[in-house]
Amino acid sequence: MDFPHTYCRAWDENASRQEVDNFYSFWYNFESWREYSYLDEEDKDKGQDREERRWIEKQNKDIRKKRKKEEMSRIRSLVDLAYNNDPRIVKFRNEEKEKKQAAKRARMSVVQAAKAEEERILKEAQLAKEKAELAEQKRIEQIRLEKEQQKRALKKERKLLRDTAKEQNYYSTSEKEKIRNMEGVEKICEMLKMMELQSFNKELVAGGRDVFVKMLKETEEKLEEERKALFETNKPTVTTSTQQKNVIPVDKNALWSPENMQLLIKAVNLFPAGTVQRWEVTANYLNQHGTNLGGKKFVARDVLNKAKDLQSSDFTKNTLKSQANDDAFASFQKSKKELKIIDRADISVNDESDHPGSTQPKQNGVSSDDAKSTAKMNGTAKGTNPVAESKPWTKEEQALLEQAMKTFPISTPERWDRIAECIPNRTKKDCLRRVKELVDRVNAKRDAQQIMVYSSLYEIIVDFTRDYDVIKQALTKIEHYDKTCIANMLTNVNNILLSNWGSQNFCQVLVFTDCGIGFGSTSVTHAINAIKLSKTKKDPSQEIILPFSYTSKLSFMCLGSTEDTYFQTAIKLYQDLLDVSGQKGFLFVPKRKGDVDYVKKEEKSASTSLLCAQSVVEMISKMCETNYKQFEAVLKCGGYFKLESPINIWPPPLPYTNKETEVTSLISRKLEICGFLSLSEIGSPMSISRHLILPKIDRNDKKMVKSEPLNEYEKLEADIKLFYSKNDGANSDDESPSFSANDSVKESVCVLLHGALKVENMAALVLLNENWFGFIYSYADSKKKSNLMLTVLPPGHDVIPWLGDLRYVGNMEDTQPSDNAVFPVKPVEKRSYSQNCVVWIKQAGLQSDIQKVLRHAKKLPDKTQNFYKELNRIRRAALSLGFVELLDGLSSLFEREIALLPSNANADCAIQLKHTAMELRKVTNRDLKTMITPLPSKYNQL
């Protein structure tokens, strides 16, 4: 073999990299010249015909290729061995590696220098920013202290005026005049400034009733003049031709653009009532920050008239509400002190930020995310995207979610995608977030609570949380605001509870108030009249203040002295509010200090009209006993020799009112077990509520309390139990004490029933009241813990269609061996464990099954088997229930799908849908044993 000169020098230790690479490249590209024809096993010439010779030649050729390939593989392995062990290659690799490391070190040094410079600049900027923020905070704090001082002075003068009027019985001679003068006092407090109030208080002490009546008359005249001026201002002005030549008309309404209206609302919140020369300051603020003024300026009267116009009009329905309140709310939160509160874990899926550590700290007890949701509920969200913001779940969407989760079990592939398809306008993330929130609420140890303060506006201090320490800390930071507006508070409470808990949960609303009645459009009297008007007119566009649109209880905790005439009048108005609206709730009024037994005598003699801590504690205790009292009952099981045990049911079951008959049903205090059924036979029936069953325990001796006999038959039954349970050698004198001491320990129906139901996988049918049933079963919320649960069915004896009339359900021994089981409906073929049972208690279940069939129909012919399987399942269920109209409806749906098929759809899709529609309409196919099979075609050969 002849090698070029370059390849011969390649073995030199001082050879260059190019020469070494050329040498190895030659051997890597080397092709062997051997043909291996001398090793052929068969001779081509020995073939009998041409076909055999061709076959022999082909076999020999394949063997030669194989041997040549083996030869080249052997040569390549030798070259690889030499290349990997060549010291020059190792040296070249080390040199390249060193060059790369040097270049990398150079780049890293440059990057580190740039990073250090950037960090230095950022640190200096951060220090400058901190200094500026500290100075700004000091300035804001100084402004706040000045405002607080002015507010306290104004508040002091107003309190002096109210106290003076209250001591003089509001200068009235009748009850009607008294209420009018009470509202007049509030009007005077709002209209007069601090200096005017001081002079008026001095004149009132000297002049008495005449001065008060004169000032009240002047105030009402002034308000009437302002209303007339506002009316004249809003009227279109008509000028003569001579005036138009010399005077340019100024349209003041043109100045009130949406931006200036937002600025006005922000200024009103920034400068609250009590600010010195409030409307002049507000006008200057608008002149400084207003847009499109064109050289014109606002005056105090224009600003005051516009503010009253917004207050008197129904601004809550204005489309500018969300834009106008945003800046005012942001300024309001910035001016408040920050509470250092531990941030709680969010129960929703955090899909807004994928970076860890992006959670914002809470301010004023509300996190940044919660503040966004609060701003949204207040209508103050600026530029919010309705798609990005999570919308509250309605009752219908919640029902669809529950039915979809039952329809698609955990083993279903792409389960959450299918669940999301069943719920309109909801994504997969929305469904996952909702399920996680519901699971966290169910597994929580305490009920979630929320704190909200209200005046003319409202503010959520602490969002729904189960951390009671956060609530206690926030209660010490509550501040006082302006006038009371109870209608605004109740409306927003309704919206907040609906968006967080829906319309199916029972909610408790506690309002701690001094029973301020307000005045004008924000008074309690105005709210009562609005409720009466809404009931008579029944205008759907008008918001209804009360009652709430969900099951709830509203309790007013009235904090005030019962000897105060103002407080007594306010209590009557608040009670009228509950009576007129029909809202379930109570008014809790504290006792007088002299009526409390455990108050010291010197405190009683000092003052009997002031509010004391003991009376407030008694009022809170009375509220807890009324609203949070446990439901106690007796659970009985068995025939003549009954097992019974007192139990507690939590949460307490609510009375059920039938919407059609308006009949209210109450659960009895005696629950009697009628029999036992398998959980597979019960399925998933519609229920009203679920409750936890616990044995009743006496707090004194920590033992289960035994119920006392209620009539002669139960006394006789107790005696028989005592007779059978006594020992043979026991003395008759000590029989009763021994039984009463050990019976409560021996008998525990809850423990016995819980263990039996858990092992046998069964449920107990319990009679709650006449013609009202429920189920008791074992429910495991984790792998180690299980509880005894009660599911309350709707009143009636035929509430579960597949079980039939519950009054005629008998024992298994009563059925003859030859008889067939009548419930649930047994199909002809063998039941599949992967096939879900059909539950059409609600509309959502039927809709989900039809949507599933339509999804398979659009994927024909790939989903032919699944399509006919689901179709036959729905058809059998419809025939079993006598729901024949469903088959005609499905036929119409399939014909409509044929017309809507796209041009690129498979031809077999239209053929199978047309065949199915015809088969469903045939009367001969109304037998349960008949199956609809696919139509054979060239696309589907069965």
- Please write the tens of the pLDDT for every residue from 445-499: 555 666 667 666 777 888 887 777 788 888 877 777 767 788 888 888 888 887 7
Residues 274 and 157 grouped into a single domain? no
What CATH number should be reported for the domain holding residue 257? 1.10.10
Residue 676 host element (H or E): strand 670-678
Q: Are 890 and 876 contacting, i.e. CB atoms less than 8 angstroms apart? A: no
Residues 296 and 413 grouped into a single domain? no
**From CA 449, how far away is CA 465, in angstroms rounded?**
6
**From CA 64, how far away is CA 342, in angstroms rounded?**
80
Q: How many CB atoms lie within 10 A of CB 369?
A: 17
pLDDT score, position 783: 64
Residue 930 lies in a domain: no
**From CA 907, how far away is CA 910, in angstroms rounded?**
6
Residue 659 lies in a domain: yes
With a cut of 60, say whether residue 821 has pLDDT above it: no
Q: 299: left (phi > 0), else alpha (psi -120 to 50), else beta?
A: beta
> Between these two residues, 348 and 935, which has the higher pLDDT value?
935
Q: By mean pLDDT, which of 289-303, 364-378, 923-937 is the weakest?
A: 364-378
Residue 727 lies in a domain: no
Nearest to 168 by CA among 156, 185, 187, 193: 185
Alpha helices in 767-900 (DSSP H): 843-857, 864-881, 885-899
DSSP-assigned states of every residue in 507-553: EEEEEEE------GGGSHHHHHHHHHHHHHH--TTSPP-SS-SSSEE
Nearest to 727 by CA among 717, 742, 712: 742
**From CA 250, how far away is CA 247, in angstroms rounded?**
9
Q: Rounded mean pLDDT of 847-853?
A: 87
What CATH number should be reported for the domain holding residue 766? 2.40.290
pLDDT score, position 765: 92
Which of the listed ranges 165-179, 374-388, 718-732 does the model predict with the highest average pLDDT? Answer: 165-179
Residues 910 and 860 grouped into a single domain? yes
- Paired sense of beta strands 552-558 and 585-588, if any: parallel
> Between these two residues, 716 and 65, which has the higher pLDDT value?
65
Our count of domains for the chain comes to: 5
AA letter at 820? N
Could you list the residue range(s) of the whole structural domain that residue 803 is in? 631-706+747-814
Predicted confidence band of residue 424 (pLDDT cuts 50, 70, 90): confident
pLDDT score, position 109: 92
Residues 686 and 797 grouped into a single domain? yes
Domain boundary among 268, 284, 313: 313
AA letter at 260? N
Looking at the chain, the whole-number percentage of residues with pLDDT higher than 70 is 74
Residue 331 lies in a domain: no
pLDDT tens-digit readout, 624-656: 888 888 888 988 887 655 678 888 898 888 888
Looking at the chain, the whole-number percentage of residues with pLDDT higher than 90 is 7
Residues 688 and 806 grouped into a single domain? yes
Q: Are 298 and 290 contacting, i.e. CB atoms less than 8 angstroms apart? A: yes
Give me the count of residues in the chain: 942
Residues 265 and 226 grouped into a single domain? no
With a cut of 80, say whether residue 164 has pLDDT above it: yes
Q: Mapping DSSP to helix (H, G, I), strand (E, B) and coil, where does residue 650 land?
A: strand
Residues 776 and 863 grouped into a single domain? no
Residues 794 and 885 grouped into a single domain? no
Whether the pTM exceeds 0.75: the reply is: no
Predicted confidence band of residue 100 (pLDDT cuts 50, 70, 90): very high
Tokens, residue 201: 């208080």
> Between these two residues, 314 and 754, which has the higher pLDDT value?
754
Residues 789 and 848 grouped into a single domain? no
Residue 439 lies in a domain: yes
Alpha helices in 683-823 (DSSP H): 712-725, 735-746, 749-760
Tokens, residue 656: 């059920």
Tokens, residue 148: 């607080």
Residues 140 and 265 grouped into a single domain? no
Q: Mapping DSSP to helix (H, G, I), strand (E, B) and coil, where does residue 411 land?
A: coil
pLDDT tens-digit readout, 896-929: 888 888 888 888 888 888 889 998 888 888 888 8
Residue 725 lies in a domain: no
Nearest to 200 by CA among 185, 190, 184, 211: 211
Residue 592: phi, psi to the nearest 5?
-70, 155
The distance of Cα 390 from the centroid of its chain, to the nearest Å, equals: 9
Residue 246 lies in a domain: no
Q: Rounded mean pLDDT of 599-624?
A: 65
Residues 145 and 292 grouped into a single domain? no
**From CA 231, how far away is CA 283, in angstroms rounded?**
20
**From CA 941, how far away is CA 255, in angstroms rounded?**
78
Cα–Cα–Cα angle for 538, 540, 542, rounded to 5 degrees:
90
Q: Mapping DSSP to helix (H, G, I), strand (E, B) and coil, where does residue 153 land?
A: helix
Residues 110 and 229 grouped into a single domain? yes
Nearest to 21 by CA among 74, 89, 87: 89
With a cut of 80, say whether residue 123 has pLDDT above it: yes
Predicted confidence band of residue 219 (pLDDT cuts 50, 70, 90): confident
Residue 455 lies in a domain: no
pLDDT score, position 663: 84
